[in-house]
Chain A
């Protein structure tokens, strides 16, 4: 026997947990390596047996950007606050891509790993969490393309505020994680989520300022518009990177509060459903 197995075994107490019980973050920490392995596996497997491999992480946002540029930039000639349309759209497509991956992979994560859930104990939170983090890899690759685009169109980044970008990235992760928690837990019980996802994704894209600037929304609707947490994220990205818009104002804080609210409520909902996952999946 190795040294590792000689340590004194710890005692685990198993009892019915109440809905608002602690999130058991200690367990999550114990299993931190599993999060790493799940992310690593998702990234590794994602582009296996594809001809273009990792290039897909780049092709997808570029194709969307080209379509948007043609439709909204050239044909509809939407206002972009003086920024070349491709850069304008691509900046928004970065957090949007992260969100969509998390929404789709995260919502399906528990059901996709039903054999793990019904056979083994591990903090279930790991599954949606790993899906969100796996989306970060694609995000980083696409970010390199954005830098190249900015060089090409000679767009100068807003140097004085660019340090806030990681904060907006964090907000994107918080939003994605919150939505993934809600939908993955509901999906265990109601597979209707699977059916609703494509529509939800499409609908959400329309109400998020990805293809257009949120300034096209009239003044009196701004607060209602900002109830969409992704509006705050996308506007934040454009502001931090390109200096477009006013920066964090009331509408932003409404969006950000909604993001945080979704995450916290998502954590509690997930936790309260977690104990029945193995029985209902």
Chain B
């Protein structure tokens, strides 16, 4: 067996501020100020008062990671946000360079993330296919030979010579995907965490990934969705704070990841610096997701009940208060909105609350969520008076559907809920 990917001791260092925040560009002014203050800093450093800010401004997204992958293998990559998964994929696809170490990659690396990159709204579908193909590294002759296939796959048919700005978003995405899917790379990289598009589109991506794997090509798959990792990969690596801490057959690696407690914590704690200035007298303390035994979890099992609990402090009495949650899918669709005083009796009792520390708990019944990733938003307000605190994306969690209705069929079910319904089947004749 030949080695498709060989990663040797790679590290990637990022400068925080320049790379981390999208909205703070380094201004020439900052640099000028820095230059002006340089002698002051030097004097301080010589006097032994150095703030050691240099150390603070760098962080290692990847720290001495090494692994080999044989041709034709499908490797899962798991780890919580910021563990270095996406950085690793970026280095493998040559978008960014490692700070240290070497990687050898045998063959072309393609990623389904590149979908539609370089598409120009003014160009026709046909022109964009050629443009996008060239950007992805295809030769003209190669695009020529696959052109009909791509058009058929994209189902845009007669609109192929219409500028893509007139396309519906679905047509646009299908066409873009058609090009990426026909790149036929030797190594395919799929970062589901960043995938865009609707469920149907994501299903297509995963389907394509399966095809590629079955043709004996190498696949790297990043996901927060453990059931997808288990279903699609045989082997997985676990990344933690930039380091590779485990490589094992997928069931073992996933088990290690979930039990080692370094999966998403399922808890959000607010410090003083996280509070908006105008939230008083309401102070959020913590938000937790718990399983039926009261253990904090980041992955909710669809077949078991789960509890969302929000702890907060009221510095003075508040009337008309309601504390509640929004639930969103990864695509930003609302699943539901609910408040702790929705029930009229409850509102009578707790609408006016005295100062003190409270917990509002909400139990989600078993057999509720479908698989996927969800965002929990929170809101504390007095209707028509004031909104004290709101965070639309306070915490996120995954849903594992093992044992849920219909899981005997290995397919992706549409919709955010997966209820266990009472079906009756009558024979009528």
A278, B98: Cβ atoms closer than 8 Å: no
Cα distance A48–B127 in the bound complex, in angstroms: 14
Closest 5 CB pairs of A and B: A9-B107, A121-B94, A14-B103, A15-B102, A275-B97
* Residues of chain B at the chain A interface (Cβ within 8 Å): 14-15, 18-19, 25-28, 31, 90-109, 111, 113-114, 117-118, 120, 122-123, 127, 130-131, 134-137, 139-142, 145-146, 184, 186
Give every chain B residue within 8 A of A41 (Cβ-Cβ). 120, 123, 127, 131
B18, A2: Cβ atoms closer than 8 Å: no
B60 to chain A, nearest CB (A): 13
Chain A minimum-CB-distance residue to B103:
A14
Query: Which of B27, B95, B106, B145 has the most chain A CB atoms inside 10 A of its CB?
Result: B95
Cα distance A116–B417 in the bound complex, in angstroms: 36
Chain B minimum-CB-distance residue to A48:
B122
Cα distance A44–B19 in the bound complex, in angstroms: 34
B114, A4: Cβ atoms closer than 8 Å: no
B103, A45: Cβ atoms closer than 8 Å: no
B114, A120: Cβ atoms closer than 8 Å: yes
Interface size class of A (residues with CB under 8 A): 35 or more
Q: Known: A4-B139, A45-B120, A120-B135. Is A17-B18 also a contact (CB below 8 A)?
A: no
Cα distance A276–B27 in the bound complex, in angstroms: 17
Q: Known: A37-B134, A116-B118, A122-B137. Is A190-B25 also a contact (CB below 8 A)?
A: yes
Q: Give 25 CB contacts A-B under 8 Å.
A: A2-B145, A2-B146, A4-B139, A5-B142, A13-B104, A14-B94, A15-B103, A16-B100, A34-B134, A37-B131, A41-B131, A45-B120, A45-B123, A119-B95, A119-B114, A121-B94, A189-B18, A189-B26, A190-B27, A191-B25, A192-B27, A275-B97, A279-B14, A279-B15, A279-B96
Give every chain B residue within 8 A of A17 (Cβ-Cβ). 97
* Given A116-B117, A122-B137, A279-B18; 20 other pairs, CB 8 A cutoff: A9-B106, A14-B103, A15-B98, A15-B101, A37-B130, A44-B123, A45-B120, A45-B123, A118-B95, A120-B93, A120-B95, A121-B93, A121-B109, A189-B18, A189-B25, A190-B25, A190-B27, A192-B27, A275-B96, A279-B96
Q: Which of A2, A9, A13, A190 is B28 in contact with, Cβ under 8 Å?
A: A190
A160 at the interface (CB under 8 A from B): no
A33 at the interface (CB under 8 A from B): yes
Cα distance A120–B97 in the bound complex, in angstroms: 12
Give every chain B residue within 8 A of A33 (Cβ-Cβ). 134, 139-140
Cα distance A118–B99 in the bound complex, in angstroms: 17
Cα distance A33–B134 in the bound complex, in angstroms: 7
B113, A119: Cβ atoms closer than 8 Å: yes
A218 at the interface (CB under 8 A from B): no
A223 to chain B, nearest CB (A): 31
Q: Which of B91, B96, B99, B141 is A4 in contact with, Cβ under 8 Å?
A: B141
Taking CB atoms and an 8 Å cut-off, the chain A residues in 113-130 that contact chain B are 113, 115-116, 118-122
Cα distance A122–B114 in the bound complex, in angstroms: 12
Query: Which of A5, A13, A36 has the most chain B CB atoms inside 10 A of its CB?
Result: A5
Chain A minimum-CB-distance residue to B96:
A278
B94, A12: Cβ atoms closer than 8 Å: yes
A11 at the interface (CB under 8 A from B): yes
Cα distance A115–B15 in the bound complex, in angstroms: 20
Give every chain A residue within 8 A of B109 (Cβ-Cβ). 121
Cα distance A279–B59 in the bound complex, in angstroms: 13
A182 to chain B, nearest CB (A): 14
B410 to chain A, nearest CB (A): 27
A70 at the interface (CB under 8 A from B): no
Query: Which of A5, A44, A118, A279 has the most chain B CB atoms inside 10 A of its CB?
Result: A279
A116, B184: Cβ atoms closer than 8 Å: no
Give every chain A residue within 8 A of B137 (Cβ-Cβ). 31, 122
A202 at the interface (CB under 8 A from B): no
Q: Known: A2-B142, A48-B122. Is A12-B95 also a contact (CB below 8 A)?
A: no
Query: Which of A48, A119, A278 has the most chain B CB atoms inside 10 A of its CB?
Result: A119
Q: Which of B15, B111, B127, B186 is A9 in contact with, Cβ under 8 Å?
A: B186
Give every chain B residue within 8 A of A49 (Cβ-Cβ). 122
Q: Known: A278-B96, A279-B14. Is A14-B27 also a contact (CB below 8 A)?
A: no
B102, A13: Cβ atoms closer than 8 Å: yes
A34 to chain B, nearest CB (A): 5
B250 to chain A, nearest CB (A): 26
Cα distance A1–B19 in the bound complex, in angstroms: 40
